[in-house]
Amino acid sequence: MKKGFVILSGMVLASSLALAACGSDEAAQNAAAPSGAESVSSGDAGSGAEAQPAAQTTADAIQASDMSKLPSVAQQRTDTIIVGLTDPSGAFTPYFHQSGYDGNVSSLLYQSLLTVDDQGLPVGNLAESYEVSDDEKTYTFHLPKDAVFSDGSPLTAEDVAFTWTILHDKAYDGDSQIPELGIVGGADYKAGKADSVSGIKVIDPQTVSVTLENVDASAILQLGGDVLSKAYYGKDYKFGELEYIKKLHENPLGNGPYKLEKFIPGQEVRMIANDKYAKGKPATEHFIYKTSEGDAWQFVETGEIDYSSFAATQENLDKIKGLGFLSTVPYTPSTYGYLTLNHEHKQLQDKAVRQALTYGLDRQSIYVDANQGAGEVANIPTSPISWSYTTENINPYAYDPDKANQLLDEAGWVAGSDGIREKDGQKLTIHYLGRKSPDTDVFIALAEENYKAIGVDFQPEVLADFNALVSKVEGGDYDMAAFSTAMMTDPSEGITQFIDGEVLGYDNPEVTKLNKEALAVTDTAKRKEIYQKLYEVVNDDLPVIFTNYRKIVYAYNGRIENVTVSPFTGLADGLSEWTLK
């Protein structure tokens, strides 16, 4: 994976949250495509077409075994932690950056109102608490009295209101979804018909509320994002003119654990501990994101960076163990890989065909074994780390060519003289699109064989890069195309593509209805029940072929203690506790 930028999907608990998580894993996966979780790639796992079924040891954390092997460069670095990051561009203002790597940086410079726990459920962060009104449309956030930005200026409800408001400006070109939440009065403000967004109310300096037009259970994750100082970012603000923000990008003013010390383009982002951080000044004085495109190994091995992520292949794990001075945290990103299907093409409109294509594809070999264990087969549109994940009543679609053949026979597809099935004079062909990568090569090699065995004519086409793939898919000339979601925090993010027409020609009223229901309540237990039903439907109907989850390890220098990494928010929440021995 290479180029592009980290883009995260759906809703993001404050773009920074998901961005952070996404970026930090992608980033370190060396040539990891910034394009977020775009397609099924697994960083440096490229080497493995060779099957290693026994490579399932990823769940165990490795502890540094021999600190005497620690390179002296790292030994001498007593007050600085260095982490690799593919390519921060310098636009460190939350909501306004175009690169997810900038999101990684801003997630350390700003503290969001809320964060999420290990299952992706919102919990207070800067905000002491929040409550939802009885009609579930109004959210009220309570800020602590003594909240300040890193320059000592107070952080109040006015700043929060300003942040939400400026995102509704018609010139806003970032990818925050707040303007699309349907905040009352948001559309009027955007159209220039109102001076403020009427649904956003400052109740007192520590209390701010926001009212939505419709109940949306996923809204809380987006509203709970970073806060921009009105005094700083709003000083020159005029409606319709946001150009001035670009000049502030390199001098961010936040309230996070670290402050920006110096940005050296293409080289490093230096940060220094913020002594006014709400959770207390971080234990390590300096933190540096080192730009390290390309192979992160050379920097980890030489002790130049302290922390990096790698695909959890057996090869990488062995290497980490062999180095002796690295410890690891295993990690499953909250994404899922899938093969999108074009339902406008007749052969794919039949559920039996979609099921047969899933039974007939040896996903275990392609995504797990060929990846040396750095993967897991997916069957529903959510990640195993999410609170919504389930395996109950979920068909695992284990590789079963006989079952696939039987389904196709029953659906009326009969093998012709060349072994390819036909129905009504139409051959069963699958025109596949993928993006150039070692994983795509593995997929094509195995899928070609798998599909030949069930009489499907598999015609792969490989596009040069992610943009080219997206553009080709938008043109509609495909049957099947490989993608992965971006980082998801709320489970609804994994569903959106089945509702909004992104999966071409797919329209299942049941899915639409359940999705609506799941968003219309904010109670997690109730939502979980609805998602259970929804996943059963989707697992049976297969709007897309679910393929895989990725498995990653964070490797960090054994001289760092108290390392915690959130699967959703990355380093941001735990970093202030990391200490150097």
- What token pair was written down for 41? 């790639």
288 binds other proteins (CB under 8 A): yes
* Rounded least distance, CB 388 to other proteins, Å: 19
Tell how many helices (H) and how many strands (E) occur in the chain: 18, 25
DSSP-H helix ranges across 360-508: 363, 401-410, 438-453, 466-474, 492-499
CB closer to other proteins, 177 vs 218: 177
> Is position 97 an interface residue for other proteins (rule: CB under 8 A)?
yes
62: number of Cβ within 10 Å: 17
Taking the C-alpha atoms of residue 387 and residue 367, their distance in angstroms, rounded to an integer, is 24
| 322 is a site residue for other proteins (CB under 8 A) | no
Residue 126 vs 242, nearer CB to other proteins: 242
- Nearest approach in angstroms of CB 501 to other proteins is 7
For 110-177, what is the HEC assignment?
Answer: CCCCEEECCCCCEEECCCCEEEECCCCCEEEEECCCCCECCCCCECCHHHHHHHHHHCCCCCCCCCCC
| 291-299, 440-448, 545-553, 562-570 -> range binding other proteins (CB under 8 A) | 291-299
- List the Cα angle 161/164/168 in 5-degree steps: 130
How many residues touch other proteins (CB under 8 A)?
A: 68
Residue closer to other proteins by CB (options 34, 375) is 34
Give which of 198, 6, 83, 157 is closest to 572, Cα–Cα. 83
Which residue of 60, 180, 195, 318 would you call a contact of other proteins, by CB under 8 A?
180
Q: What does each C-alpha distance from 131 to 206, 387, 528, 547 come to in angstroms?
A: 14, 21, 20, 38
Per CB under 8 A, 556 contacts other proteins: no
Q: Is 121 in the site for other proteins (CB under 8 A)?
A: no
3-state DSSP assignment of residue 548:
strand
183 vs 219: CA distance, rounded Å: 10
CB of 89 to other proteins, least distance (A): 4
Q: Are 314 and 336 in contact (CB under 8 A)?
A: no
* Contact flag: residue 175 with other proteins (CB under 8 A): yes
| Per-residue x/- track, 236-265, other proteins (CB under 8 A) | ----------x--x--------------xx
Question: Is 275 or 295 the residue whose CB approaches other proteins more closely?
Answer: 295
Binding residue (CB under 8 A) for other proteins from 128, 158, 293, 422 = 293
Nearest C-alpha neighbor of 480 from the set 362, 383, 337, 333: 337
Interface segment toward other proteins; rule CB under 8 A; list 282-290, 346-354, 444-452, 511-519: 282-290
Residues 6+ apart with CB under 8 A from 426: 346, 347
Near other proteins by CB under 8 A: residue from 364, 383, 388, 485: 485
Closest by Cα among 104, 126, 105 to 225: 126
> What is the Cα–Cα distance from 488 to 486, expressed in whole angstroms?
6
Does 99 bind other proteins (CB under 8 A)? Our answer is yes
Q: How far apart are CA 519 and CA 514, in angstroms?
A: 9
Indicate which single residue of 65, 406, 467, 524 sits in contact with other proteins (rule: CB under 8 A). Answer: 467
Supply the DSSP symbol for 384: T
Class of residue 138 by CB neighbours under 10 A (exposed 0-12, middle 13-18, buried 19+): middle
The distance of closest approach from Cβ of residue 128 to other proteins in the complex, given in angstroms and rounded to an integer, is 30
Q: Which is nearer to other proteins, 302 or 393 (CB)?
A: 302
Contacting other proteins within 35-94 (CB under 8 A): 35-36, 38, 71-72, 77, 80, 82, 87, 89-91
Q: How far is the C-alpha of 495 from the C-alpha of 175, rounded, in Å?
A: 19
| Contact between 201 and other proteins per CB under 8 A | no
Give the nearer residue to other proteins in terms of CB position, either 390 or 485: 485
Q: How far is CA 99 from CA 44, 106, 221, 256, in A?
A: 21, 11, 20, 19
Task: Tell whether residue 173 is a contact of other proteins (CB under 8 A).
Answer: yes
Q: How far is the CB of 299 from other proteins (least distance, A)?
A: 6
Q: How far is the CB of 468 from other proteins (least distance, A)?
A: 4
Q: Quick one: which H or E segment has residue 545?
A: strand 544-546
Nearer to other proteins, 134 or 474 (CB): 474
Determine the Cα–Cα distance for residues 8 and 20; give it in Å rounded to an integer.
10
- Which of 8, 126, 197, 278 touches other proteins by CB under 8 A? 8
> Among 137, 168, 259, 270, which residue interacts with other proteins (rule: CB under 8 A)?
270
| DSSP symbols for 41-92 | --GGGGG--S--TT---TTSPP----GGG--HHHHT--SEEEEEES---S--
**Which of 24, 29, 209, 291 lies at the binding interface for other proteins (CB under 8 A)?**
291
Closer of 306 and 369 to other proteins (Cβ): 306
For residue 472, the minimal CB distance to other proteins (Å) is 6
516 binds other proteins, rule: CB under 8 A: no
Instruction: Give yes or no for residue 461 binding other proteins (CB under 8 A).
Output: no
User: With respect to other proteins, which residue has the nearer C-beta, 326 or 353?
Assistant: 326
Please give the Cα distance from 319 to 391 (Å, whole number). Answer: 33
Query: Which of 304, 422 has the CB closer to other proteins?
Result: 304
**Residue in the structure block whose two tokens are 């109040």:** 156
Distance from the first to the final alpha carbon of the chain: 34
User: Which range in 297-305, 336-344, 506-514, 521-529 contacts other proteins by CB under 8 A?
Assistant: 297-305
> From the CA atom positions of the chain, what is the Rg in Å?
24
- Out of 52, 65, 98, 406, the residue judged to bind other proteins by CB under 8 A: 98
Cβ-based nearer residue to other proteins, 87 or 573: 87
What is the H or E stretch that residue 457 is in? strand 457-463
* Binding footprint of other proteins on the chain (CB under 8 A): 2-5, 7-10, 12, 35-36, 38, 71-72, 77, 80, 82, 87, 89-91, 96-99, 171, 173, 175, 177, 180, 246, 249, 264-268, 270, 286, 288, 290-295, 298-299, 301-302, 304-305, 463, 465-472, 474, 483, 485-486, 500-502
